[in-house]
Amino acid sequence: MNIISLTVWTLENNCFTVYTALIVCFVGFTIFHKNKLEAHYRSLAEKKFNKTGAKRIPDREFPDDGDDDPELLVPAIPEDTPHIPYKPIKRTDDEILERSREYYELMAQRRTVRSFSKEPIPEEILKNIIKTAGTSPSGAHTEPWTFVVVQDPDVKSAIRNIVEEEEDLNYNKRMSRQWVTDLKPFGTKPEKPYLSDAPALLLVFRQAYSWRDDGKKRMHYYNEISTAIATGFLLAAIQYCGLASLTSTPLNCNSRLRDLLSRPVNERLELLLPVGRPHEDATVPDIQRKPLQEIMVKI
């Protein structure tokens, strides 16, 4: 029996074992080289982007979270980040009490406005508001947010078209009848003139993850709550400087608005906030806040 006949005879009689062994080897090889291949493809993609001068937008998901390869286990920010003294202004109890009262009074005046003046607002104000939101705490300092500012009338109009189309379906087909009923006191409807009237629209995107320079996926721990806290800072800054906003959550608009605004796939639209001065005829529902004893539990 020559070598060829021997090989054919072995394959014929042990084909199940041979194919299983080949599959196991292939899977093992793929898992073993997964990280290196991903880093390689990432650096190739980056080189291509750099050559074309195009804006770097991650468009591929690298599902390597939970990877414990010791070589890749380095903190996302340097481990030797120095710790510096923290010395905020010292205040007396009386000052603190007075400031807590003043801040409460200011924030108690904040209302959601659904009718805006078209008067423009200087860009520097918007920058300062967003800088304030960017001071928010975040899980492992991942800062998982992007604030898109839209002032261009054509882009505002495109956003309005998308939101109104989706809201028409939401109100008539997707939302429960109870939900639509609960919204009646606020007078909300699929038509959203404020999306063209307000001088600026701020769209809050949440980043579920990002990429490190070495191509490894960087998880954004607690990205939902971090982005929600940053949005709270944003709303407080808008109120503090004397402007008004509308906290809205455009239902089912994520992918269309993300595409319109060229945001990458690791970002999800959470909120759309028209910002500006209230229209002089603006009204708000006369709602009451829960009293302190209902929201505070003292132990």
Q: Would you say 132 or 252 has its CB closer to ligand FMN?
A: 252
Task: Say if residues 195 and 248 touch (Cβ distance below 8 Å).
Answer: no
Judged by CB under 6 A, does residue 112 bind ligand FMN? Answer: yes
Select from 3-11, 23-31, 70-78, 241-249 the region that touches ligand FMN (CB under 6 A). 241-249
Q: Is 189 in the site for ligand FMN (CB under 6 A)?
A: no
Nearest alpha carbon to residue 230 among 100, 121, 134: 134
CA geometry: angle at 277 spanning 275 and 282, to 5°?
105
Q: How far is the CB of 44 from ligand FMN (least distance, A)?
A: 41
Terminal Cα-to-Cα distance of the chain (whole angstroms): 89
Q: Which of residues 40-69 bind ligand FMN (CB under 6 A)?
A: none
Residues whose CB is less than 8 angstroms from the CB of residue 67 and which lie 6 or more positions away in sequence, other chains included: 35, 216
Instruction: Give the C-alpha distances (Å, rounded to integers) separating 237 from 89, 107, 185, 250.
Output: 20, 10, 27, 22
The distance of Cα 192 from the centroid of its chain, to the nearest Å, equals 23
> Closest separation between CB of residue 287 and ligand FMN, Å?
6
104 lies in the binding site for ligand FMN (CB under 6 A) = no
| Of positions 34, 111, 189, 268, contacts ligand FMN by CB under 6 A | 111
**87: helix, coil or strand?**
coil
Name which position in 43, 249, 255, 283 contacts ligand FMN (CB under 6 A): 249
Query: Any contact of residue 284 with ligand FMN (CB under 6 A)?
Result: yes
Using CB positions, name the residue nearest to ligand FMN.
Answer: 112
Residues 212, 220: Cα–Cα separation, whole Å = 12
Q: Does 170 bind ligand FMN (CB under 6 A)?
A: no
Closest CB to ligand FMN among residues 249, 255: 249
d(C-alpha 200, C-alpha 245), whole Å: 10
Which residue's CB is nearer to ligand FMN, number 215 or number 250?
Answer: 250
**Minimum distance of ligand FMN from residue 204's CB (angstroms):** 11
Which C-beta is closer to ligand FMN: that of 111 or that of 268?
A: 111
Helix (H, G, I), strand (E, B) or coil at 131: helix
Choice between 125 and 284, CB closer to ligand FMN: 284
188 touches ligand FMN (CB under 6 A):
yes
Q: Taking the CB of residue 277, how many other CB atoms lie within 10 A of it?
A: 18
Q: Choose which of 29, 41, 104, 186 interacts with ligand FMN (CB under 6 A).
A: 186
Three-state DSSP class for residue 8? helix
- In the bound state with ligand FMN, the residue whose beta carbon lies nearer, of 151 and 188, is 188
What one-character-per-residue DSSP string does 185-245 give? GGT--S--THHHHSSEEEEEEEESEEE-TTS-EEE-TTHHHHHHHHHHHHHHHHHHHT-EE
Closest separation in Å from C-beta 199 to ligand FMN: 18
**Residue 235 identity:** L
- Tell which one of 114, 160, 256, 263 touches ligand FMN (CB under 6 A): 114
Which span (14-22, 117-125, 154-162, 244-252) binds ligand FMN, by CB under 6 A? Answer: 244-252
Q: What are the residues binding ligand FMN (CB under 6 A)?
A: 111-112, 114, 186, 188, 246-249, 284, 287
